[in-house]
Amino acid sequence: MDKLTRHNFENDVKTEDFNIKKFFASPIQDESNNTFAAIMSEAMKGINSLKPTGRNSSAFLGKNPELTVTRENARKAVLRPEGESFTEVLNHVISTFEGLPNWGHPLNMTNICPQENYAAIAASMLTQMFSPNILEAEYAWNTSIAELESSAMLADMAGWNSEKSGGICTYGGSGCWMYQLKYALSRVLPDSRQQGIRTDAKVLCSEQAHYAMLNSTDWTGLGMNNIIKINTLPDTNTMDITHLEQVIKECSDNHVPIASVVCTMATTDACAFDPVKKVRELIDRYPNNPEYGKALLYCDAVIGWSWLAFKDYDFAANPQNFPETVLESARKNGEAIREIQYADAFGVDFHKNFSPLISSVFVYKDRYEFEDLLKRESSAYLQERGDYNPHNYTLEVSRSAGGSMAAWATLKFLGIQGIQHVLAHGLKNKHYMLEQLEPYPDMTCINTADNGAVLLLRIYPEGTDAALQYQKELADKNFRNTLAEHNTIIEKTADLLWKWFREEKQIDGKRTPYLSITKGFRPAVYNTDPSDHEAVIYALKVYPVSPYITKSDMQHALYCIRMARNEVV
């Protein structure tokens, strides 16, 4: 990018005194558009040059694995009197991507990260050219179709009447949590919008629910102590419905209102789907006291929503020829997510599997209720020039169309079949690794009951019967200390793999994989509060969803995990 200088870019906009026009995008088709396009084309080459040239490479961008940024150094920044050239700025921007994880790389099997489809990248980038603002019709004009149609498609996938439902694109799965809580509080504590929250309404979710529960109860002012965590079942990690019934009944008996019950669909590690239909029955059986509104049923489906693509799949005919292992899990996930129809609202993250950050939709079943409950006065300086003006009930004011365009482009580009194949690919990789584990009794996959693509692996010193040892460590208090010891081995193995990944170590002529660790798959069975922070299950987390992963990458990853364990033990 060194050829296109500041001078070159300024050809068309001659300086009189200080020409501020040179900084800004031209509103008309002139030469500067072409110059911009040419520089951006160079910039794309620049950023793409951070990708490796072949598969035998480490799963980070560029050449330098070091983290060069420190808060200490960054604090010294001061604004200079004279600006840099456009290309200098872009070169600086591009250089900051050096060393960043390369999410789609076949050796990247780390925690849930965005795989970015080309259509979504392009769609969200294009919105930056003209900044449509989806706060109301005048500023969004026809671009609001992305939010409206994405919401309609998602509602339809959920089995709702899309004529009556609606959706809001927001800042992630945590934004969706915030929306559900605000919706719930406005419904259950009708005066709370004017007078503030004066009643300790409760939020019920499973102990495996996402920690976004903390953000929203904290920031709404409801208070984090108003979360009640429902136990999960040890084999499925889903909400224990008996415990839920106890809690709901107790609230009902004591006239404590429930703001919402949140079903996680699915959990981040275990791909567990809470039983929405049964939750609905309990909410109906034990309603809030009449002075309060009806408790909201929310599904945190930000990861699991895409299984809706399998909801109506013809598993008998299997038109897409998925292998049996995929079919079984897809059928179960499809059945589990089908229960989302009983919810009042659900959250969707496109950026968990498909699109660039941030692309999330909060979808609600009854738009008349939601939009009415949250309605505010219109602003004096905004005129409503169309029938879609969400600024009257959204949390945010200005909203970029970037996320909604990414969502819309993803749905249009992939279609149901595309989504199915993306999900099937992760399952195939998982099952392949499970097969490869067979000759190694010192390793065990602790989430074989799950139907997601995540593999949670515990690896023990050679000669250990891992499955047996794990059962003891999970359930028996006498094994608390060996549990902690083996947790340490797993943590050290993960740290060594991390180090190898960053050092670009080669094993058998190939770079090593980039994996994660989970330090809280579940507490040991006896650790009920769970107050003992060491009596919890650690596991290596392999999340093999990159569309570029092959069987040989899975085999190699397994081999590298074993090599790392050997060095640690």
- Residues that bind ligand PLP in the complex, under the rule CB under 6 A: 172-174, 210, 212, 264, 268, 300, 302-303, 349, 360
For ligand PLP, the closer of residues 244 and 303 by Cβ is 303
Min. distance of Cβ 173 from ligand PLP in angstroms?
A: 2
Min dist CB 517 to ligand PLP, Å, is 17
How far is residue 77 CA from its own chain's centroid? 33
Residue number with CB closer to ligand PLP (87 or 267) = 267
The single residue listed with the structure tokens 């999900």 is 423
Task: Return the residue matching tokens 């003891």.
Answer: 472
Q: Which CB atom, from 339 or from 442, has the smaller least distance to ligand PLP?
A: 339
Nearest residue (CB) to ligand PLP, 268 versus 512 = 268
Q: Considering the complex, state which of residue 303 and residue 343 has its C-beta at the smaller distance from ligand PLP.
A: 303
β-pairing verdict for 443-445 and 539-542:
unpaired
99 versus 114: smaller Cβ distance to ligand PLP: 114
Tokens of 146: 């992305």
Which amino acid appears at position 164 of this protein? K
Cβ neighbourhood burial of 384 (10 Å; 0-12, 13-18, 19+):
middle
Residues 6+ positions from 464 with CB-CB distance below 8 Å: 441, 442
Do 107 and 511 form a contact (C-beta atoms < 8 A)?
Answer: yes
Which 8-state DSSP code applies to residue 85?
A: P
Report whether 361 contacts 155 (CB < 8 A).
no
**Are the C-beta atoms of residues 257 and 199 closer than 8 Å to each other?**
yes
Q: Which of 352, 377, 355, 367 is nearest to 179 (CA)?
A: 367
When the beta carbons of 274 and 473 are compared against ligand PLP, the nearer one is: 274
Question: In the complex, what is the shortest distance from the CB of residue 213 to ligand PLP, in angstroms, rounded to a whole number?
Answer: 9
| 297 phi/psi in degrees, rounded to 5 | -110, 110
Give the amino acid at 349: D
How is residue 175 written in tokens?
């934004």
Smallest gap, in angstroms, from Cβ of residue 212 to ligand PLP?
4
Q: Which is nearer to ligand PLP, 173 or 257 (CB)?
A: 173
The answer for residues whose C-beta is within 8 angstroms of residue 435's C-beta and 6 or more apart is: none
Cβ proximity to ligand PLP: between 162 and 360 the closer is: 360
Cβ nearer to ligand PLP, comparing 24 with 211: 211
Residue pair 171/396 in contact by the 8 Å Cβ criterion:
yes
Residue closer to ligand PLP by CB (options 210, 458) is 210
- Which neighbouring-strand residues pair with 504? none
How far is 120 from 355, CA to CA, in rounded Å? 6
- Find the shortest distance in angstroms from Cβ 327 to ligand PLP: 25
Residue whose beta carbon is closest to ligand PLP: 173
Contact between residue 215 and residue 178 where contact means Cβ atoms under 8 Å apart: yes
For tokens 């789609």, name the residue.
104
Residue 226 corresponds to which tokens in the numbers above? 């108003």
Tokens matching residue 60: 């980070």
Residue whose tokens read 């629910």: 209
Listed residue (518, 554, 556) closest to 111, CA to CA: 518
Nearest to 127 by CA among 389, 399, 386: 399
Cα-atom radius of gyration of the chain, to the nearest Å? 26
Judge contact between 515 and 494, C-beta under 8 A: yes
